[in-house]
Amino acid sequence: MSWRLSTTSARSTRAVARDLGASLEPGTVLALNGDLGAGKTTFVQGLAEGLDVIEGSQVLSPTYTLVNEYPGSRVTLVHIDFYRLDCADAARALGIDEQVLRRDAVVAIEWAERLPELLPPSTVTIYIELGAGDARTLEVTGIERP
Ligand code: ADP
Ligand code: MG
């Protein structure tokens, strides 16, 4: 199952992610794909609001930390970035494979397509395509539209 929608601002991408986040159960893995500046981190900011873990604006890119964790009352958000990982073994050496499979958390992974072998079969994929200006198209596979 797959659905698409368009947004015209960072704010509307965050709103889409917020609505999705409100319905997500722990153990869900979200793969976020799309070019630099597409809006993957922006999407996770909305997700954080929907999961009620933290004020969305406090979500920072895990480009250098690789994994950021935001504990919440209902569910924890684990935010991972595969961008700087060269191979699955490098990720395993850092224990990131285990973070991906956390049962107590919603796990959102930027650049997930770089290491598909670390993703469970149930992974929900979100591809964000850059359009002109602030236009983006989101294609979501693996979960129904909320
Ligand atoms: P990524 O993590 O994919 O590299 P970011 O979320 O860090 O991307 O950056 C996306 C940038 O694009 C932000 O500066 C954001 O404000 C801007 N932007 C403009 N329009 C949109 C939109 N429709 N959806 C998401 N971000 C947008
Ligand atoms: Mg990012």
User: Looking at the CA of 127, which ligand is closest?
Assistant: 1
pLDDT at 10 over 80: yes
**Residue (of 25, 85, 69) closest to 51 by Cα position:** 25
> 50-59, 85-94, 119-128: which range is least confident on average?
50-59
Query: What's the pLDDT tens digit per position in 65-84?
Result: 899 999 988 999 999 999 99
What would the two tokens of residue 56 be?
A: 């969305």
pTM of the model: 0.96
Give the span between the Cα atoms of 94 and 40, in whole angstroms: 23
CB 130 less than 6 A from any atom of ligand 1: no
User: Which atom of ligand 1 has the smallest separation from the CA of 110?
Assistant: 2
